[in-house]
Each structure stands twice: as C-alpha cells, then as structure tokens.
C-alpha cells in the first residue's frame, strides 16, 4: 500500500503558528520534501523530528521527483512543505501533488498559515472575493497584461513581490490602475518587524521609493467594484475587409487575422482568398 503525501502549511515566520497537527505530522513522516532544506531544518529540529529532508524546488530534476514518489510507493509517508505558508501556492509543490495523484497516492492537507489570507485580513480591503496573481513577470508583454488584469479586476487583487522591486511594482500599478486606487503593503507578516501600510498606490509608491522594504512582501490592491466592459468579438470577415482596404497583402492580412481572432492560419487564408 502506498504511503500518504501530507501537504503541510508551515509558519510565515512565528514558530508559534505551527499547528499541533502539523507538528505531529512532521514528527511521524519518514521524509519531508522541502523547498529549502536549510530553512526547513530549523523547523524539523523545533518539533523534534528525525525525518529525512529531501530538496524539492522549482529547479529540481526529474530524479528528485521520482525519489519522493518511490518513497511513497514503498509505503512511506512524506510531508511536503514550502519555506513559509502553504505549499503549492506560488510554489513548485503542485507538480509533486499532481504526480502523486496520478499514481493513486493518498493526499492529505494539513492547513495553516498563508500570506494571501493574512495580508487580506489586515489590509482593510474587501476579501469577499479576490484574485491571486502571485509574482508578476519582471518585464515584457506578460507583465503588461497582468497589470491590466489588476486594473480591470472588479475584485481585490493579491500579489507577491521581492522587496527590492516593490516600489517599481507600485509605480507601474499606479500608472495602469490610477494613482488614487487604494492598496496595502504587508511585509514580514507574523515576524518581529511586521508592518502593514495602507494608502493610495501613488502614496505607497512614493513611500517605498524612499524607504525600500525588507523581508517578504505581499501587495493587496482594491478592485474597481464593477465588472470590466465585455469585449465585442471580432468578425473575421469584416476585419479582413478592413485590413485589405488598408493596402495590406492577403498573406499579411491572413496572418494578422489569425493572431487577432484565434482562428487557424489555414482558415484565415481561405477566408481572405474567398473575399
């Protein structure tokens, strides 16, 4: 019979937040799959566990994944943890959970701390419904698209960011969302220097440009409170006629049509040639 994979939430910083159930689980499993074994070793020592520590992170090889699955397959229980908070939330652990599920390994959650819920709780912004986007790409079109997602969201949006890039993120958010959009920046949650600062995006961007934050940072941005306008679907034939009228070649029109509408290039070529 296969062992059980326990997905264990660990403290954001304060060890007192580790639940008794989580502590018992870490003491009783054969191994702990950890994002950073050096970081997790402190927790393992704290609970008095003799479990084997196995490194499992975003850059782990397929061999590391297979090693954990082999342990589970031989009937040994394994706990999956991340450096802080709940595994698989902006964390590579989802790959292990999916692989274990594919092999019919029992999977049990040991819930607990999460920076997303903790930041929402102290932000003063609506948490009835929210969108979590994790870390945004540092640059490029993907970053711009996600910034626009924040700007148009009817609901509160939660983001993670590295401390040295917080001021830049807030500046970009102020540009797309409007300088007066309400937000909050929570850092070092549950730790000695915990701080949550609320204000407009412009105010927060200015503050953190002058006083760069330290530690783990979670940014919460208020929603618009209204649904974004519905996009009118593009009529491929009408769009093709417009592009042809602009003097574009049939080949260029077909390629742009495929890109804009999502239809296949072959379909686009046929449509253009039939006009």
The DSSP annotation for 23-92 comes to HHHHHHSSEEEES-HHHHHHHHHHHT--PEEEE--TT--HHHHHHHHHHHHTT--EEEE-SSB-TTTTST
Instruction: Say whether both 61 and 121 belong to one domain.
Output: no
The answer as to whether 228 is a domain residue is no
pLDDT at 243 over 70: yes
For residue 229, is it within any domain? Answer: no
Provide the pLDDT for residue 257.
86
103 part of a folded domain: yes
Q: Are residues 29 and 78 in the same domain?
A: yes
CATH of the domain at 150: 3.30.950.10
Clarify whether residues 103 and 125 are in a common domain.
no
pLDDT at residue 79 is higher than 90: yes
Range of the domain at 145: 116-221
Count up the domains in the chain and report the number.
3
- What is the pLDDT confidence band of residue 275, given thresholds at 50, 70 and 90? confident
d(CA 106, CA 2) in angstroms, rounded, equals 8
Which residues 6+ apart lie within 8 Å of 251 measured at CB?
269
Tell me the pLDDT tens digit for each residue of 148-205: 999 999 999 999 999 999 999 999 999 999 999 999 999 999 999 999 999 999 999 9
Q: Which of 87, 216, 90 is nearest to 162 (CA)?
A: 216
Beta strands 182-187; 195-200: pairing state: antiparallel
Q: What's the pTM?
A: 0.79
Do 9 and 49 lie in one domain? The reply is yes
Q: Which residue has the higher pLDDT, 195 or 245?
A: 195
Where a domain ends, among 63, 87, 113? 113
Tell me, yes or no, whether 71 and 156 share the same domain.
Answer: no
């Amino acid at each position: 019979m296969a062992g059980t994979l326990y997905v264990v939430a660990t403290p954001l910083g304060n060890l007192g937040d580790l639940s008794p159930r989580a502590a018992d689980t870490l003491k009783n499993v054969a191994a702990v799959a950890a994002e950073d074994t050096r970081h997790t070793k402190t927790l393992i020592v704290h609970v008095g566990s003799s479990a084997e520590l196995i490194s499992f992170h975003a850059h782990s090889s397929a061999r590391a994944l297979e090693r954990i699955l082999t342990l589970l397959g031989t009937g040994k229980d394994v706990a999956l943890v991340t450096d802080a908070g709940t595994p698989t939330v902006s964390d590579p652990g989802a790959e292990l959970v999916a692989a274990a599920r594919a092999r019919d390994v029992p999977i049990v959650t040991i819930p607990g701390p999460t920076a997303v819920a903790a930041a929402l709780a102290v932000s003063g912004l609506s948490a009835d419904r929210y969108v979590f986007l994790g870390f945004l790409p540092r640059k490029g079109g993907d970053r711009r698209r996600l910034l626009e997602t924040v700007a148009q969201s009817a609901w509160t949006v939660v983001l993670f960011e590295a401390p040295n890039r917080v001021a830049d993120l807030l500046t970009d958010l102020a540009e797309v969302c409007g300088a007066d959009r309400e937000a909050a920046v929570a850092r070092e949650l549950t730790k000695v220097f915990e701080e949550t600062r609320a204000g407009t995006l412009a105010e927060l961007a200015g503050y953190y440009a002058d006083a760069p934050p330290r530690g783990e940072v979670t940014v919460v941005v208020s929603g618009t409170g209204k649904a974004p306008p519905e996009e009118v679907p593009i009529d491929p034939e009408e769009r093709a006629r417009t592009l042809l009228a602009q003097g574009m070649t049939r080949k260029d029109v077909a390629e742009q049509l495929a890109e804009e509408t999502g239809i296949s290039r072959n379909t686009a070529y046929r449509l253009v040639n039939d006009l």
